[in-house]
Amino acid sequence: MYAQLVKSEGKKSAEEMSPEERAFQDRVDRGEKIEPKEWMPEGYRKTLIRQIGQHAHSEIVGQLPEGNWITRAPTLERKAILLAKVQDEAGHGLYLYCAAETLGISRDQLLDKLHDGSMKYSSIFNYPTLTWADIGAVGWLVDGAAIMNQVPLQKTSFGPYSRAMIRICKEESFHQRQGYDIMMKMAQGTPEQKAMAQDALNRFWSPALMMFGPSDKESVHSAQSMAWKIKIDTNDELRQKFVDQTVPQAEYLGLSIPDPNLKWNEEKKGYDFSEPDWTEFFEVIAGNGPCNRERLGARVKAWEDGAWFRDALVAHAEKDAARRAAARVAAE
Amino acid sequence: MSSEWPLWEVFIRGQHGLNHRHVGSLHAPDAEMAIKNARDVYTRRNEGVSIWVVKSVDIAASSPSDKGPLFEPSNSKVYRHPTFFSIPDEVGHM
Ligand SMILES: [Fe+2]
């Protein structure tokens, strides 16, 4: 999802655990929240840094494909809405960075790891937004998939992460609805507009399914993360839920899901559908998606171009503090 | 050469008459910028009427291992709760 392929460690059995680890697991099992200064297994801390960091990076990089259309939104109202939406994503990134920092990694370290490629962001943001309908598809499908994953994470065991998720979820449904609203407008518009909406759905459907990551039913990493309650559902469960929720929404729009194998399965009370192309997924994760270089390049450039400004503000703050201190001494 | 901006804890008064509540933290070079950033990060939907910021390093906190000695003494003092005392119905509301 926003955090895909997060490496954890193999799940430990009760006998393999130290007394501290067992006491920790009991707290998690009882539904207690773990707070930053409390004892936690090193693997828990490390996995959370990777997961929350990747989630934060996704929010920040995720501003780029949508930011692409702010200056070209079709009306002033749409522009204002998109601006507010993209600003929310920046806020979400900031909540999450703060949560990650409570685990003992600094903001600059997190950003360095994004910039040097050692930490990832969601594969979905390496696809281009070619038309205005893509902005609709992103809000509807990408934010929709994000919500699927984030709602259960509100109950995650790590206090700061859980609280960040609660704030984010409160703001997220605006994102999905504004996207769907764009899709409705396009789908009910001229034949050309409807074709654009269908084209956006065609291009974003499969990448949206990939957001949940490959099947992890058998993954030991996932088993440990689930025991720690930093992962709540399996990737397949979330993907199924997403498909079941999205198909009727596409039907309402009069658009068709680009999957010939999509079929209602009465027995499982859900849709059968084709697996996305996992070779493509791994290529995108490895840095070879359509926009990887552009996205990361934009982040690195923004960071480097802003360095003098960040430094200037620090210099100003230091001078100001010195001036105040001197004035205090003089007054005494 | 670049030094990281310090971390600030942000407290927001949601409405007149309520306490300021901790909502999260952020990085900023100084207090003035911290308040401006807090406005953008934590009150995009009209969540507050007042903001406090304080440098995270200036906060002193109790340690999780002190939880017992700090808070357990109050466990045995049930008489601090009004429900400890039963008042006859005839007395009326008290
Ligand atoms: Fe969003």
Q: Kindly state the average pLDDT of the residues B82-90.
A: 93
For residue A256, what pLDDT is reported?
97
Could you tell me which residues are beta bridge partners of residue B54? B9
- Terminus-to-terminus CA distance in chain B, angstroms? 67
CB contact under 8 A, B7 and A38: no
CB contact under 8 A, A310 and B25: no
Which chain residues have CB less than 5 Å from ligand 1, an ion?
Answer: A 143, 175
Q: Distance (Å, rounded) from C-alpha A160 to C-alpha A316?
A: 32
The three-class DSSP label of residue A75 is coil
Q: Distance (Å, rounded) from C-alpha A89 to C-alpha A65?
A: 12
Rounded to two decimals, the pTM is 0.92
Q: Which of A40, A314, A318, A323 to mutate to test the interface with B (most CBs of B within 10 A)?
A: A314
Q: Distance (Å, rounded) from C-alpha A137 to C-alpha A289?
A: 19
Q: Spell out the alpha helix ranges (H) of A122-258.
A: 132-137, 143-153, 159-187, 191-210, 220-227, 235-253
- Identify the closest residue of chain B to A39 by CA–CA distance: B64
pLDDT tens for the 332 residues of chain A, in order: 566 767 666 777 878 889 999 999 999 999 999 999 899 999 999 999 999 999 999 999 999 999 999 999 999 999 999 999 999 999 999 999 999 999 999 999 999 999 999 999 999 999 999 999 999 999 999 999 999 999 999 999 999 999 999 999 999 989 999 999 999 999 999 999 999 999 999 999 999 999 999 998 877 778 899 999 999 999 999 999 999 999 999 999 999 999 999 999 999 999 999 999 999 999 999 999 999 999 999 999 999 999 999 999 999 999 999 999 999 998 88
Q: Taking every pair of C-alpha atoms in chain A, what is the biggest distance, in angstroms? A: 82
Nearest Cα neighbor of A169 from A244, A59, A92, A256 is: A92
Q: Which residue in the set A39, A98, A321 is minimally distant from B24, CB to CB?
A: A98
Pairing state between β A263-265 and A270-272: antiparallel
Encoded tokens for A229? 């309650």
Could you tell me which residues are beta bridge partners of residue A264? A271
CB contact under 8 A, A91 and B41: yes
Question: What is the helix (H) or strand (E) element at residue A285, kind and residue range?
Answer: none
Q: Which residue in the set A91, A95, A310 is minimally distant from B5, CB to CB?
A: A310
- Identify the closest residue of chain A to B32 by CA–CA distance: A317
The three-class DSSP label of residue A153 is helix
Chain A residues with CB-CB distance to B30 below 8 A: 313, 316-317, 320-321
CB contact under 8 A, B1 and A316: no
Residue bearing tokens 């920790």: A24
Q: Distance (Å, rounded) from C-alpha A310 to C-alpha A87?
A: 20
CB contact under 8 A, A87 and B44: yes
Q: Which residue in the set A35, A107, A164 is minimally distant from B64, CB to CB?
A: A35
Chain B contacts in chain A segment 292-331 (CB below 8 A): 307, 310-311, 313-314, 316-317, 320-321
Interface confidence (ipTM) of the complex? 0.87
Chain B contacts in chain A segment 175-234 (CB below 8 A): none
CB contact under 8 A, A313 and B33: yes
